[in-house]
């Protein structure tokens, strides 16, 4: 592969490649893996001039003739334009977009051809990018090279990293190069990282001997010292010397560069070379540097508007600063572009941007034109501000939240009217918060200052509250919202009702939820919400927190009905946000069916960023419903996508579900389980479960193993602490009753049983009534009462949709029957319980039932070694196989699971021998439930 360096897209020998043996070996392996169907990606990190671009050039040369090369470079002046980088990267692939599924087709067309707005979020664009790369790789391997990734727009970064993490078995290799100090390194967990440190002195000497063999030895040593191991600095410092300096007859004039970092020395050399060019050439370079497309026709058209011609590019080409390759203007190195742009005076930069805006083709990218106009504007200009605002809404339709924030922020800078400026800053703050740019959102909200219009008051309050909540300050967030409720409701009752609902949700997470609920009620007393149904929902949440489950349940039931009736009036994100509050009513099957519909809609619309939240809800519901294997499969997928989309908080909660499931199978939940590392790295590495779910898991394990004292202590933390209102705590009340009874603490058991009975009575669900009866049976003073209560509980359990709770009731009843020496009846109850636990599976509880059966003289069979079909498969294989059994093609399955078709085929090929089949057609006859 080394021999291929002289060929390819760049016919110059890549410089700065002396040394870097480990990096070259890794990249060689990455490219070889892509050829063999093992996709992968890597992040190169290092200071400017450390050799990142040279390594990318080497990859490009090695790919020449053997792979399809896609390459782009981040441009600082275009970092606020959504998908600007992706447009450059994929612009030559439009001929293959049509083979993608419809949603992905629309998403990617909207990126590459911006007159079409893409459907779905930026992660759908990532899934579409993955699909396109996989399509291209059907012909030959694909190599994607991204230089200066730290200057890419956020939307391009999110899309490319999503694709990179899910390459699977595709024939695609991706290499990102970025500055060591850039933020992108923090947003790319799961990708291996190669850090390019300084070259060793021997490697630096070898590079100089190759690139400047005429250097006198002492001069070479001086250059090595000045360059500090920076390869580009070595080459450029040597190239900038006079002949007399090179042979040592004239002293080396460091010109103060010895005190500068190596990358700045190189930048200074490029500055000097550019200043030495004729003025028209410098201006044309400024135009080219201000444009991220590299389109030579556009650059020349813009150049004509500032009075320069194509011939003026000649001196820059002769100085080896740029070259024209096909229809593109290519800078020799990203530092040359930076020097050309940042070295120009303000008037030259504004002229360049205005010329690019004027030269943009009619009907082209409105957002890019608006941004160039803004960059060309000094002072206030409402016309440009309005165009930026229009482009912001276009960016929003493309899923570009960071770009929305940047556009509104720039529009605000151009706005003279204080109220209009505040409104635009409020919109910018909201978009920045949605994009995860918390510091920027807080700064923009502060800059907006005091506002008077109700929409601006409400928006800023929501933004500030969300930022406080993310910092763990739910009480501060609640107070911000409650204050805004008072300011807004008199003018906009509906808006005030929504703010009140948000404040009630913050009270839910407050350190003292009871006090927060009461304070919220007191502060809004007397306000007229005009009977808005959302006010009813807020009241239900506050009632529940304040300890009135009866009123709370009634209000929440009304609110849930309103949400269902009006779901067609709101977008998918709002539907997901409002869904699930009726989980407080214990009607899990109804909520589950609604969540399934939302999941289907997320997959249909390609709402990848929203999907993990829905999968979290589904995983919890399936756990509550005793569908443990489905809960596991759902949680694993949710965890992977949450990690791939950078939603760490959701990842910790999904990890909590997996931890509880592991505990039910008998695993010590010291650290949350994770899916096995995937090809290309494991972004889920190190995700710990949310603490309250970890305590729940530990308590269940202790209870199942008969460690009742420890179990009681753990459940008491959940049911008696600040989280007592959460469903995970409500579910722990019956467990606390059982642990307290086993340790002869009747008082503790009675208090927990009474609390659960009040909640069960308020909700009116069959399963809660059955569990309440079970708790009362455990506390019964005589055998006759206990038996009656157990029998009634089992009768109510019939068809209640909670097989795990029913099996636990049978287990406790069987234990009671054994103690009553009614061996035959005990054997029947325990056998039924054992069969249920094994189906779920819940291995720890199955073993407990098996132990009880042995105590009554039965000889239960040893647990089967994963005899069931689905137990033989990994979570991903199970998802793929179930979809394949319905007749879906690999392409359709990939579209649903956001995987490449090749990866789907890989999972199927692994699953067939485990299932004892040889083809897709045989899957339909298997029991995969």
pLDDT digits (tens, 9 = 90+) for 429-454: 888 887 777 788 888 888 887 777 88
Q: Which residue is listed with tokens 């009553």?
A: 820
The answer to whether residue 708 is domain-embedded is: no
Mean pLDDT within 289-306: 89
Residues contacting residue 770 through CB under 8 Å, at least 6 positions apart: 793, 794, 796, 797, 800, 802, 805, 806, 809
pTM score: 0.79
Q: What rounded mean pLDDT belongs to the chain?
A: 84
- The answer on 156 and 247 residing in a single domain is no
Model pLDDT, residue 712: 95
The answer to whether residue 717 is domain-embedded is: no
The confidence band for 203, taking pLDDT boundaries of 50, 70 and 90, is confident
Model pLDDT, residue 679: 35
> CATH code at 114?
3.40.50.300
- The answer on 287 and 250 residing in a single domain is no
**C-alpha–C-alpha distance, residues 890 and 911, integer Å:** 14
Residues contacting residue 810 through CB under 8 Å, at least 6 positions apart: 794, 829, 830, 832, 833, 836
Mean pLDDT within 238-243: 73
Question: Which has the higher per-residue pLDDT, 806 or 166?
Answer: 806
- The answer on 911 and 883 residing in a single domain is yes
- The answer on 109 and 32 residing in a single domain is yes
Residue among 250, 41, 244 nearest 157 (CA) = 41
Residues contacting residue 427 through CB under 8 Å, at least 6 positions apart: 392, 404, 408, 459
The answer to whether residue 778 is domain-embedded is: no
The helix-helix angle for 628-644 and 154-165 (nearest 10°) equals 140
The answer to whether residue 305 is domain-embedded is: yes
Q: Which residue is listed with tokens 């201000």?
A: 290
Highest mean pLDDT among 387-396, 744-753, 825-834, 883-892: 825-834
The answer to whether residue 715 is domain-embedded is: no
The confidence band for 670, taking pLDDT boundaries of 50, 70 and 90, is low
**DSSP assignment of 684-734:** TTT-PPPHHHHHHHHHHHHHHTT-HHHHHHHHHHHHHSTTTTSHHHHTHHH
- The answer on 98 and 239 residing in a single domain is no
CB 292 within 8 A of CB 300: no
- Which of 519, 540, 565 is the last residue in one of the domains? 565
Question: Which has the higher per-residue pLDDT, 285 or 83?
Answer: 285
- Identify the H or E element spanning 761: helix 746-763
Q: Residue 882: pLDDT above 90?
A: no
- The answer on 192 and 206 residing in a single domain is no
The total number of structural domains in the chain stands at 6
Mean pLDDT within 783-805: 93
Mean pLDDT within 825-847: 91
**C-alpha–C-alpha distance, residues 566 and 547, integer Å:** 29
Polymer length of the chain? 929
**C-alpha–C-alpha distance, residues 626 and 82, integer Å:** 44
Mean pLDDT within 107-118: 66
- Which of 196, 231, 246 is the last residue in one of the domains? 196
The answer to whether residue 92 is domain-embedded is: yes
- The answer on 608 and 627 residing in a single domain is yes
The confidence band for 866, taking pLDDT boundaries of 50, 70 and 90, is very low
Report phi then psi at 173, rounded to 5: -120, 135
Model pLDDT, residue 5: 27
Q: Give 534-563 pLDDT, tens digit per residue.
A: 899 899 999 888 878 888 888 888 888 888
**C-alpha–C-alpha distance, residues 352 and 80, integer Å:** 18
- The answer on 10 and 134 residing in a single domain is yes
- The answer on 547 and 627 residing in a single domain is no
3-state secondary structure (DSSP) of residue 210: helix
Question: Which has the higher per-residue pLDDT, 423 or 403?
Answer: 423
The confidence band for 259, taking pLDDT boundaries of 50, 70 and 90, is very low
> CATH code at 899?
1.10.10.10
Residue among 870, 866, 873 nearest 911 (CA) = 873
Q: Residue 873 corresponds to which tokens in the numbers above? A: 């498969």
CB atoms < 10 A from the CB of 320, how many? 13
DSSP state of 138: T
Pick the range with the lowest mean pLDDT from 219-223, 731-735, 791-795, 834-838.
219-223
Q: Residue 370: pLDDT above 50?
A: yes
The answer to whether residue 808 is domain-embedded is: no
Half-sphere exposure (CA, 13 Å, Cβ side) for 123?
A: 24
- The answer on 532 and 461 residing in a single domain is yes
The answer to whether residue 633 is domain-embedded is: yes
**C-alpha–C-alpha distance, residues 437 and 712, integer Å:** 42
- Which of 173, 196, 219 is the last residue in one of the domains? 196
The helix-helix angle for 732-742 and 691-704 (nearest 10°) equals 40
Please confirm whether the linkage preceding 841 is cis (ω < 30° from 0).
Answer: yes
- The answer on 537 and 579 residing in a single domain is no
Q: Residue 621: pLDDT above 90?
A: yes
The confidence band for 634, taking pLDDT boundaries of 50, 70 and 90, is very high
User: What b/e string do you get for 866-886 counting C-beta neighbours within 10 Å, with b at 16 or more?
Assistant: eeebbeebbbbbbbbbbbbbe
Range of the domain at 364: 276-375
Model pLDDT, residue 398: 67
User: For 379-447, what is the HEC assignment?
Assistant: CCCHHHHHHHHHHHHHHHHCCCHHHHHHHHHHHHHCCCCHHHHHHHHHHHHHHHHHCCCHHHHHHHHHH
Question: Which has the higher per-residue pLDDT, 843 or 145?
Answer: 145
**DSSP assignment of 67-119:** SEEEEEE--GGGTTSTTHHHHHHHGGGHHHHTTS-HHHHHHHHHHHSTTSPPS
Pairing of strands 172-179, 322-325: unpaired
Q: Hey, which residues does 329 pair with through a beta bridge?
A: 324
Q: Residue 771 corresponds to which tokens in the numbers above? A: 């569990």
Q: Residue 753: pLDDT above 90?
A: yes
- The answer on 146 and 30 residing in a single domain is yes
């Amino acid at each position: 592969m080394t021999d291929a360096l002289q060929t390819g897209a760049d016919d110059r020998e890549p410089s700065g490649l002396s040394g870097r043996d480990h990096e070259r070996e890794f990249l060689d392996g990455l490219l070889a893996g892509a050829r063999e169907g093992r996709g992968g990606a890597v992040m190169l990190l290092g200071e400017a001039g450390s050799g990142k671009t040279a390594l990318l050039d080497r990859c490009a040369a090695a790919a020449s003739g053997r792979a399809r090369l896609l390459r782009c470079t981040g441009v600082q002046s275009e970092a606020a334009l959504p998908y600007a980088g992706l447009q450059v990267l994929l612009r030559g692939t439009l001929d293959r977009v049509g083979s993608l599924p419809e949603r992905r087709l629309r998403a990617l067309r909207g990126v590459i051809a911006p007159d079409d707005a893409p459907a779905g979020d930026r992660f759908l664009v990532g899934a579409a990018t993955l699909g396109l790369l996989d399509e291209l790789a059907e012909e030959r391997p694909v190599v994607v090279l991204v230089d200066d990734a730290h200057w890419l727009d956020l939307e391009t970064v999110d899309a490319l990293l999503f694709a990179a993490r899910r390459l699977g078995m595709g024939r695609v290799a991706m290499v990102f190069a970025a500055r060591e100090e850039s933020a992108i390194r923090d947003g790319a967990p799961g990708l291996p990282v190669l850090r390019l440190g300084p070259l060793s002195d021997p490697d630096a000497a070898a590079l100089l001997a190759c690139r400047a063999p005429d250097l006198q030895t002492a001069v070479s040593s001086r250059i090595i010292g000045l360059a500090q191991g920076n390869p580009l600095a070595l080459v450029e410092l040597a190239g900038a010397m006079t002949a007399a300096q090179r042979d040592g007859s004239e002293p080396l004039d460091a010109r103060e560069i010895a005190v500068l970092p190596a990358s700045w020395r190189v930048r200074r050399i490029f500055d000097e070379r550019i200043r030495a060019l004729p003025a028209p050439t410098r201006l044309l370079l400024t135009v080219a540097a201000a444009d991220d497309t590299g389109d030579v026709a556009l650059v020349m058209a813009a150049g004509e508007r500032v009075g320069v011609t194509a011939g003026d590019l000649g001196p820059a080409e002769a100085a080896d600063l740029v070259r024209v390759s096909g229809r593109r203007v290519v800078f020799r190195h990203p530092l040359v572009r930076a020097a050309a742009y940042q070295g120009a005076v303000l008037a030259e930069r504004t002229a360049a941007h205005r010329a690019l805006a004027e030269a943009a083709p009619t009907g082209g990218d409105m957002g890019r034109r608006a941004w160039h106009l803004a960059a060309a504007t000094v002072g206030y200009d409402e016309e440009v501000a309005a165009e930026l605002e229009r482009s912001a809404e276009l960016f929003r339709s493309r899923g570009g939240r960071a770009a929305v924030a940047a556009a509104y922020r720039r529009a605000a800078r151009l706005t003279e009217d204080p109220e209009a400026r505040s409104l635009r800053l409020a919109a910018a703050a909201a978009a920045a918060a949605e994009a995860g740019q918390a510091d920027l959102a807080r700064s923009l909200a502060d800059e907006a200052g005091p506002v008077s219009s109700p929409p601006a008051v409400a928006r800023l309050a929501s933004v500030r509250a969300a930022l406080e909540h993310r910092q763990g300050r739910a009480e501060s967030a609640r107070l911000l919202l409650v204050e805004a409720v008072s300011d807004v409701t008199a003018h906009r009752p509906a808006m005030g009702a929504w703010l009140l609902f948000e404040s009630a949700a913050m009270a839910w997470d407050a350190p003292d939820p009871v006090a927060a609920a009461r304070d919220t009620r007191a502060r809004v007393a007397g306000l007229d919400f005009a009977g808005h149904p959302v006010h009813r929902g807020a009241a239900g949440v506050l009632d529940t927190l304040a300890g009135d489950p009866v009123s709370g349940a009634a209000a929440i039931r009304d609110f849930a009905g309103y949400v269902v009736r009006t779901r067609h009036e709101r977008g998918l994100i709002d539907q997901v946000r409002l869904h699930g509050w009726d989980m407080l009513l214990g009607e899990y099957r109804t909520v589950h069916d609604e969540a399934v519909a939302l999941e289907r809609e997320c997959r249909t619309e390609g709402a990848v960023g929203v999907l993990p939240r829905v999968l979290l809800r589904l995983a919890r519901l399936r756990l509550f419903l005793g569908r443990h294997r489905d809960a596991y499969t759902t949680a694993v997928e949710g965890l992977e996508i949450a990690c791939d989309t950078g939603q760490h908080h959701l990842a910790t909660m999904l990890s909590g579900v997996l931890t509880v499931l592991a505990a039910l199978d008998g695993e010590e939940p010291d650290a949350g389980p994770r899916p096995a590392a995937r090809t290309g790295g494991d972004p889920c590495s190190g995700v710990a479960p949310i603490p309250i779910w970890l305590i729940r898991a530990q308590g269940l394990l202790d209870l199942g193993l008969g460690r009742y004292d420890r179990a009681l202590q753990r459940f008491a933390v959940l049911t008696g602490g600040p989280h007592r209102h959460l469903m995970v705590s409500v579910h722990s009340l019956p467990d606390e009753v059982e642990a307290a009874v086993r340790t002869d603490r009747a008082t503790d058991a009675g208090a927990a049983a009474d609390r659960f009975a009040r909640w069960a009575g308020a909700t009116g669900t069959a399963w809660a009534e059955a569990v309440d009866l079970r708790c009362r049976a455990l506390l019964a003073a005589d055998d006759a009462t206990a038996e009656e209560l157990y029998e009634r509980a089992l009768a109510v359990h019939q068809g209640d949709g909670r097989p795990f709770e029913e099996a636990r009731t049978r287990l406790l009843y069987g234990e009671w029957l054994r103690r009553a020496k009614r061996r035959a009846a005990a054997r029947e109850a325990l056998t039924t319980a054992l069969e249920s636990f094994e189906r779920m599976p819940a291995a720890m509880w199955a073993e407990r039932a098996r132990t009880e059966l042995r105590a009554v003289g039965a000889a239960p069979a040893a647990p089967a070694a994963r005899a069931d079909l689905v137990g033989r498969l990994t979570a991903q294989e199970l998802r793929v196989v179930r979809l394949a059994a319905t007749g879906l093609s690999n392409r359709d399955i990939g579209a649903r699971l956001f995987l490449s078709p090749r990866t789907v085929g890989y999972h199927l090929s692994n699953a067939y021998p485990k299932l004892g089949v040889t083809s897709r057609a045989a899957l339909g006859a298997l029991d995969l439930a």
